[in-house]
Chain A
Amino acid sequence: MHANRNKSAVKRVEKGMMKANRTRNLFAVFAIVLTTFMITTVFSLGINYMENMKLMQVRTAGTTADVSLAMPTAEQEQQIRNLDYVKTVGTQYMVGSVAEENDEGRELSIALQYYDTTEWEKHYQETIKDLEGKYPASENEIMLSEDALSQLGITEPKLNMEIPLSYYNKNGQQEKTFTLSGWFHSYTGTGMGFVSEAYCKNAGYTMAQDGILSLSLNKMPDDFHRIQKDVELNENQSFSGAVSMKSSSSSVIAMVALLVFFIIGSGYLLIYNVLYISISKDTRFYGLMKTLGTTQAQIKSLVKNQAVKFACIGIPIGIVLATAVSFGIVPLVLNEGFEQGKSIMEAEVFFHPSIYILSILFSAVTVWISCNAPAKAAAKISPVEALKFQNFAPKKTKSRNSTNGGKLHMMAFHNVFRDRKRAILVFMSLFMGITMILGVNGVIRSMTAENFIKEYMDYHFEYNDIQFEQPEQPNKEVPQFDEHFVEQIKQVNGIENVDVQKTVWAGIDFDETALEGFMKIQYEDSRYKSKGQSYEQMIEALKGYAESGEYGCYITTLDDDKALKEYNAKHPDTPIDMEAFKRGETAIAGKDTEYNAPNAALVGETLTLTADSTDGKATDFKIGGAFYYDDYGNNLSDSIGRRKDIQIVPNIIFVSEAGMERLTKEPIISAIGVNIKDFNDLDQIDGELQAINSTLTTSEWQMKSAINQKEQFNQMFYSVNLLGNGAAILLIVIGLINFVNVMLTGVVARKNEFAIMESIGTTKKQIMKILTLEGGVYALISTLLIMTFGNAFLLLVADAVPHIANYAVFEYPVALVIGLIAAIFVICLSVPAIVYKVTSDETVIERLHNFDN
């Protein structure tokens, strides 16, 4: 453009327009504020959600390292340090444990460890909070976690205070007085004590015997598999993953990408809708200006200048609001929750300047794009055309072969699609808004206490007879539960099923040939070998046990077809004959580990079992299969221990109900698992069960209730839930505002047309009917889109959530979908008619005149 003096004239017009269109300006600025606010807040809440989730995992795991290897040789250590995908290598030494009873008679458990500087700084410090003092440097210094301090009865720790401790290390029981060099808050739930390198060296600890290497790898879990191949391990060594292994699945990436796209998309459409309408409403005015000699460039800059002004006001306000929410209100609420004990995890608020830069950039670009197209159109349009310009005039349809277009419902239908581009935009924004709500909610709702309990507990309530859980149980077990008790539990309302596990200790006839394979494998890894005794010497010792009737193990019922089917699917080479097992002819021995599988050697052999009960008699069982640890896990049987600590005997033998019948008629109920129908009844059923429990006269049992797990979970997830729900609610509000906005602008922009319709005799009632019908079409099509594409997206979410957290289970948000669709219909059916009523106050002729000028 030439530098000329008409700039001030354009400025004057612009000023006039800004003044004349107060409401429009307010709307435009509001849309920009809202969008900026939404983008900033959602992303900042989202990032805080993820960071806090990660922080929580790291804190509860007590390390940020990915894998650890205990007792590495010098060669292995060297090899690992040389691997290029190993980021950091820290070392830990387990140097002892405090074991004493405090005044309340409670056993103390404080692990004493030495961490090297790398381990402390890179892998541990992030998992703790409120660190006071410094890591111990001299031999008599110690650093304790608050847990450890409170176990020791110290409520007000001071630096350099004396801490007398009695503890065990590799040299036996020790008494020593340490000075406190610091303390911290940890989240692992165990007492931690740290000592200095000097102490560790002087007490004679070495890497190969007591050390643990803990490693952060570049890429989990790929590098975890790599390192297992690259580093050769000894028999008893294995790499263990510290943090639950998360795999970055493609469905997670796709879901996050789509969600971000939907969020940005609906923000864009919100601004675009408002600016598009406000600018196209002025097209006649621009035509007039052109008639008066304003150039294209001038009109363009006129439009854009206004948009820039809106942005200059709207974006900062949005950012300030978002900051107030993300860094003011949210941390306040989180802290409140922490202080009131609703949360055990203090939330950290993360500041990511990139969010701000991105939000500002994004909002600015959006404003620019959304004013660019109408500005161009306004500038290009010929003056005469501009004067005749009507909003939403169909541009492409030249003719239509119909005669019923004047019917109200047909008019409503044509109105929706008169401007295809706009119709698509409208449906896009409605669909995106709702789908993103459903997606985010889907992710958050999938991580519930209920799902957590499903993953980590086999039953909602687990009763265990603790006599069966001992490393040694010298006395014959006294039954703790009886059939009457089980019956009482079954009577409680809302109980889905009650699994009863029956167990009996049985002697195993010492059949050397049948047991040979088993014993040979066991011997290699036994204390007999490590003490230098021969295989034959071991056999002699075992014979001794057998003669005194101590050679045997617990036999327990397994009544779980699913587990067997899964086993058969997993091990097609060594299937278990399910029918024979159910008939009680065979038994299953367990459990083997990955590096030695003695039980597998028993398969095919026949063992003679004699139950330790009044009716116990020698009964033959063919071993029909052997479980690895991974094959079968059930909290009712997992903790079953031994009567006598004889290493060379199966840990446990599973039989069916029929098998147990053959063995004895009087097995003991060792565990009861109770599932309930509706998780919401948990609290109530817990109460009823507690009442039944109080009728028991025995005491050697314990009940694990999901209610504790639920509380723990809720406390742990309090802050992340709050963040997630905050984002989700915000999205719902924005999504619905988008709906209202689209419906509203659709009516406001057609004010003149309605005036024409009225002038030729359409009543207000009829117009409202058209608008309501139109709203119905919008609602119907939106619903259709949600039920198809929206659900397709939810399928993706369902596929993705288990990769975010292993216990997460996606549940179709029926209530939310119904609620949102209802809200859509209410908005679509009511907003247009209401807006019309409000805007049609002036007489027909006034409105017609507005149109003319």
Chain B
Amino acid sequence: MAILETKNLRKIYGSGENEVHALDGVSISVDEGEFVAVVGTSGSGKSTLLNMIGGLDRPTSGSVTIRGKELLKMKDEELTIFRRRNIGFVFQNYNLLPVLNVYENIVYPIEIDGAKADTEFVRQIIHTLGLEKKLKNMPNNLSGGQQQRVAIARALATKPAIILADEPTGNLDSKTSMDVILLMQAISRQFHQTTIMITHNEEIAQMADRTIRIEDGKVVSGGVKYAR
């Protein structure tokens, strides 16, 4: 069953001669529990696609449906709340909040939702990501790999419908990169977590269940499961 579906997504920047079609009719669908990689050259539109799916940016036309809800019909505040309950983000530059320690960063999305953290589940994530000894550290005292693991833990903590990872290993060396990807893969399986990851690293893309390839704002292959 598709947990995510996009239909005919278009995003046009500028107008007239400067018109750029960042997305040009993208339709994809992702099933629950899938670990999908989106690959493409820089400027192909893969980041734009991810931002649309995450509700961080609005498309010019088309629709995004997550768990049967259409994102574009929501108001800003509604969308923000939907996002924090259903989507976990992992950014290339981690984007941890500098005023909070590791543990507080991880449970932050739960707390701003006014909910109580599922301590058992959070403990499990922390264990899986090997962060037990770093919980009281401030983010600026962690290495890049550690920061990214905190970001992943934060994304997982709310038990989101989808984790969106934008070049999660972009700032990491190759060994750490592989560690992080293996972790993400393991988590995807262990928690049956739907994950969409952007990368331009073919080797990393190979580790996903499926690869969606995008060029010039269009899906070239892998838009639908088993359609490769």
Contact = CB atoms under 8 A, between A and B. Distances in A.
Given A393-B140, A406-B104, A765-B77, 8 more contacts: A398-B141, A399-B136, A405-B100, A405-B101, A405-B104, A761-B84, A843-B56, A848-B95
Contact of A760 (B98, B136, B140, B154): B154
A401 interface: yes
A400 B134 CA distance: 11
A498 interface: no
Given A406-B107, A411-B99, A766-B112, A760 B141 contact: no
A144 B56 CA distance: 88
Contacts of A418: 98-99
Which 3 A-B pairs give the minimum distances between C-beta atoms?
A761-B84, A405-B104, A406-B108
B99 A414 contact: yes
B56 A844 contact: yes
B223 interface: no
Contact of A843 (B58, B137, B158): B58
Most chain B Cβ neighbours within 10 Å, of A393, A758, A760: A760
Contacts of B103: 403
B104 A761 contact: no
Contacts of A845: 51, 56-57
B209 interface: no
B109 interface: yes
A415 interface: yes
26 contacts: A392-B98, A394-B138, A398-B138, A399-B101, A400-B101, A401-B136, A402-B101, A402-B104, A402-B136, A404-B104, A406-B100, A406-B104, A408-B112, A415-B99, A418-B98, A418-B99, A760-B84, A760-B109, A761-B87, A761-B109, A761-B113, A763-B80, A763-B112, A764-B77, A764-B80, A848-B56
Contacts of A766: 112
A753 B140 contact: no
B83 interface: yes
B20 interface: no
Contacts of B93: 852
Contacts of A756: 95, 97
A407 interface: yes
Interface string B29-61: 000000000000000000000010010111000
Given A397-B138, A761-B83, A764-B80, A753 B97 contact: yes
B69 to A, nearest CB: 15
Nearest to B81: A763
Interface of B: 51, 54, 56-58, 76-77, 80-81, 83-85, 87-89, 91, 93, 95, 97-101, 103-105, 107-109, 111-113, 136-138, 140-141, 154, 158
Interface in A797-853: 843-845, 848, 852
Looking at B51, B85, B105, B111, which has the most chain A CB atoms within 10 Å of its CB? B111
Contact of A406 (B81, B87, B111): B111
Interface of A: 390, 392-395, 397-408, 411, 414-415, 418, 753, 756-766, 843-845, 848, 852
A403 B154 CA distance: 14
A414 B100 CA distance: 8
Contacts of B111: 406-407
B99 A405 contact: yes
A20 B108 CA distance: 36
B77 A843 contact: no
Given A393-B140, A407-B111, A757 B101 contact: no
A411 B111 CA distance: 12
Nearest to B100: A405
Nearest to B51: A845
Nearest to A398: B141
Nearest to B76: A764
A395 B87 CA distance: 31
Given A405-B99, A753-B98, A762 B141 contact: no
B66 to A, nearest CB: 14
Contacts of B99: 394, 405, 411, 414-415, 418
Given A400-B101, A405-B101, A761 B81 contact: yes
A404 B117 CA distance: 11
B137 A399 contact: yes
A418 B58 CA distance: 34
Nearest to A414: B99
Nearest to A758: B80
A402 B99 CA distance: 12
Given A406-B104, A766-B112, A757 B97 contact: yes
Contacts of B136: 399-402
A398 B137 contact: yes
Contacts of B112: 406, 408, 761-763, 766
Q: Which of A399, A403, A406, A756 has most chain B Cβ within 10 Å? A: A406
Contacts of B84: 760-762
A406 B104 CA distance: 5
A403 B87 CA distance: 23
Contacts of A411: 99-100
Contacts of B138: 394, 397-400
Contacts of A414: 99-100
B98 A390 contact: yes
A518 B101 CA distance: 91
Given A757-B97, A844-B56, A763 B141 contact: no
Nearest to B104: A405
Nearest to A770: B112
Contacts of B104: 402-406
A852 B94 CA distance: 12
A764 B154 CA distance: 20
B100 A394 contact: no
A761 B107 CA distance: 12
Given A399-B138, A760-B84, A762-B80, A843 B101 contact: no
Contacts of B54: 759
A404 B56 CA distance: 27
A763 B109 contact: no
Contacts of B56: 759, 843-845, 848
Nearest to B84: A761
Contacts of B83: 761
B95 A759 contact: yes
A411 B100 CA distance: 8
Nearest to A843: B57
Nearest to A418: B99
Contacts of A758: 80
A418 to B, nearest CB: 5
Contact of A399 (B81, B91, B141): B141
Nearest to B160: A761
A760 B155 CA distance: 8
Contacts of A764: 76-77, 80
Contacts of A408: 112
Nearest to A404: B104
Nearest to B86: A761
Contacts of B51: 845
Contacts of B98: 390, 392-394, 418, 753
Contacts of B87: 761
A527 B54 CA distance: 111
Contacts of B57: 843-845
Nearest to B52: A845
Contacts of B113: 761
A394 to B, nearest CB: 6
Contacts of B95: 756, 759-760, 848
Contacts of A407: 111
Contacts of A763: 77, 80-81, 112
B82 to A, nearest CB: 9
A284 to B, nearest CB: 12
A398 B84 CA distance: 28
Contacts of B140: 393-395
